[in-house]
Structure 1
Amino acid sequence: MDFHAARQNMVESQVRVNDVTDTALQLAMRHVSRERLCAPSQGFAAYGDVEVAIAPGRVLMAPRDVAKLLQSLEPRAGETALAIAAPYAAAVLAHAGLTVTAQEADPRAQAVVEPYLKELGVRIETNDLKIPAGRDYDVIVIEGAVAELPAAWLKALKVGGRLAVVLKDSKIGRARLYIRLEAGFSEREVFDSSPSTLPGFARTPSFEF
C-alpha cells in the first residue's frame, strides 16, 4: 500500500474540505505516519474516514475530528502540549514544533504507539488518564469522547492555555474548547462529533426505582 499517497489524499478529502485551514497542521498530517499508531493488522485502514483500532477498547479518532480539534486549539511551535489517550494528535503536534507529552493508561495501547512517538521526540507518561501528567500546559487534547470533563484536566492548563475534547452523553457529541483565564475558564462549542467514548469515561448509570 502506498501510505504516502494515502496521507495526501486524507488531507485533501477529509481535512481541507472540513474547513481545516491551518497550514502547519495540514503539513504535519501530510508527514505523520498514522499507520504506525494503529494495531499492526489495521494499518490498511489508517487513512480512511473511520476510527482505527490501536488495541482492544482503544481507537484512533477519525482524521477529520482530530484535525478540527487541533485547529480549535490554535497550537503554536514552542508551546507545551499534553495529549491524553491521543497518540495521533501527539504526533501531529510534535511535527508542528510543540513539546509534547503523551499520556497513556493502557499498556497494550502504549506498546503500539510508544516506539513511533519516541522517534518523534514525544515524552510518554503512564498514569490514570483522569490524573494529568504534569501541569502548566499551553495545550491539552483528548482523542476520544468523555461523558464528563475531569476538573483536574482544566487545572493542568496554564493561564491562557486551551483544552479541546468531545463531550458525549448520548449518540451525538460536541467538541468543546476551554480556555483558562486568570479567574475561571471560558468554554464554547466548536463542532459536532461522535467518536467512541474512552474506556472509563462513560456516564455511570444511576439506579432508579
Structure 2
Amino acid sequence: MDYQIARHNMVENQVRANKVTDPLVIAAMEEVPRELFLPESKKGVAYVDEDISIGNGRYAIEPMVIARMMQIAEIETTDVALVIGAGFGYSSALLSRVAETVVAIESDATMVEKAEKILQDNNYDNVIVVEGDVVAGYPKQSPYNVIMFDGAVAEVPEAILAQLAEGGRLLAVVREAHKVGVARLYEREHGVIGHRDLFDANVPYLPGFEPVESFVF
C-alpha cells in the first residue's frame, strides 16, 4: 500500500473538503503518517474516514475532526499545547508540527511507552508524553495556550479549564448522555471562560470522561 498517496487523498477528500484551509494544518496532515500511530493490524485502514480502535477502549479519532479543531484553535508557532489522552501520539504529532511545544498526558502506561517510542524514533522532539490522571490534566506545566482532547467528553472538568492561559483556546467534542456530540471551543478572555459550539462530531468517549448515568425511580 502506498501510504503517501493514501494520506494525500485523505487530505484532499476528508480535510480540505470539510473547510480546512489553514496551510499549517494542511501541511501537518500531509506530513504526519497516521499509520505509524496504529496497531500493526490497523495500518491498512489508516486513512479511512472514521475513528480507529487502538485497544483498551481507546481510538485514534478521525483526522477530519482533529484538523477542524486545530484550525479553529488558531495555533501559533510560539504556543504551548496540552493533549488530553495521548493514545499512541497521532494528535500530539500533528500539533507538534504547528505549536512550539506539546505536552501529552496519558493514563495508560503501555500507551505512554508506545507513544514515546514512536515519537522519539520519528523525531517529534518537541512532544513530551507524561503518564498521569487524564481527568486532572497536567497543571505542572500550565498555563497552556491550547488544550485539545483526543476523544469525546461528557463535560470538560473545571480543573482542566483552569489550566488555560489568558487568550487560551480549549477544543473538545462534548457528548452529553444520549445526545449528539458537538465540537466546542472554550476561550479565556480577561480571566473569564466562555464557549461556543462549532460542528457535530460523534467521536468515541475518552476513557475517564464518559457520562455518569443517573437512575430515575
Tell me the TM-score normalized by structure 2.
0.92
Partner of 1:42: 42
RMSD: 1.3
1:131 maps to: 136
The alpha carbon displacement at 1:42 in A equals 0.8
Aligned twin of 1:159: 166
* C-alpha displacement of 1:57: 0.5
Inter-partner Cα distance in structure 2 for 1:183 and 1:111: 36
Residue 112 of structure 1 aligns to a residue whose secondary structure is: helix
Unaligned 5+ residue runs, structure 2? Answer: none
For the residue of structure 2 that corresponds to 1:12, the secondary structure is: helix
2:5 is matched with 5
Give, in whole Å, the separation in 1 of the partners of 2:99 and 2:73: 14
Q: Does structure 2 conserve the Cα–Cα contact (< 8 Å) formed by 1:145 and 1:167?
A: yes
Contact 1:102 1:125 in 2 (8 A): yes
1:97 to partner: Cα distance: 4.2
Q: Superposition pairs for residues 9-158 of structure 1, below 5 Å?
A: 9-86=9-86, 87-118=89-120, 119-121=123-125, 122-133=127-138, 134-158=141-165
- Is the contact between residue 54 and residue 109 of structure 1 (CA under 8 Å) also seen in structure 2? no
Q: Cα distance 1:97–1:81, how it changes in 2: closer, same or farther (>3 A)?
A: closer
**Equivalent-residue separation in structure 2 for 1:8 and 1:157 (angstroms):** 33
Alpha-carbon distance in 1 for matches of 2:82, 2:16: 25
Aligned length: 209
| Distance in 1, Cα, partners of 2:168 & 2:18 | 25
CA contact (8 A) 1:58 1:199 kept: yes
Partners in 1 of 2:201 and 2:165 — Cα distance? Answer: 26
Distance, in Å, in 2 between the alignment partners of 1:139 and 1:22 is 16
**Structure 2: distance between partners of 1:124 and 1:94:** 12
Q: Work out whether residues 58 and 109 of structure 1, in 8 Å CA contact, stay in contact via their aligned partners in 2.
A: no
Partner of 2:216: 208
Matched, 1:179 2:181: no
* Separation (CA, whole Å) in 1 of partners of 2:52 and 2:45: 7
Contact 1:171/1:194 (8 A) holds in 2: no
| Distance (whole Å) between structure 2 residues aligned to residue 177 and residue 150 of structure 1 | 14
Question: Which sits farther off after the overlay, 98-107 or 110-119?
Answer: 110-119
Q: Give the letter aligned to residue 182 of structure 1.
A: H
Q: Distance in 2 between matches of 1:55 and 1:117?
A: 19
State the TM-score, normalizing by the size of structure 1: 0.95
In structure 2, distance between residues paired with 1:200 and 1:183 = 27
Rounded Cα–Cα distance in structure 2 between residues aligned with 1:21 and 1:151:
32
Consecutive unaligned residues of structure 1, counting only runs of 5 or more, are none
* CA distance in 2 between partners of 1:60 and 1:106 (Å): 15
1:25-48 deviation digits (Å, cap 9, x = unpaired): 100110101111112211111111
Q: Distance in 2 between matches of 1:79 and 1:99?
A: 7
Q: Matched residues in 2 for 1:26 and 1:82: separation?
A: 20
Q: Are the equivalent residues in 1 in contact too, given 2:65–2:201 (CA < 8 A)?
A: yes
Aligned-residue identity in percent: 39
Contact preservation (8 Å) 1:55, 1:109: no
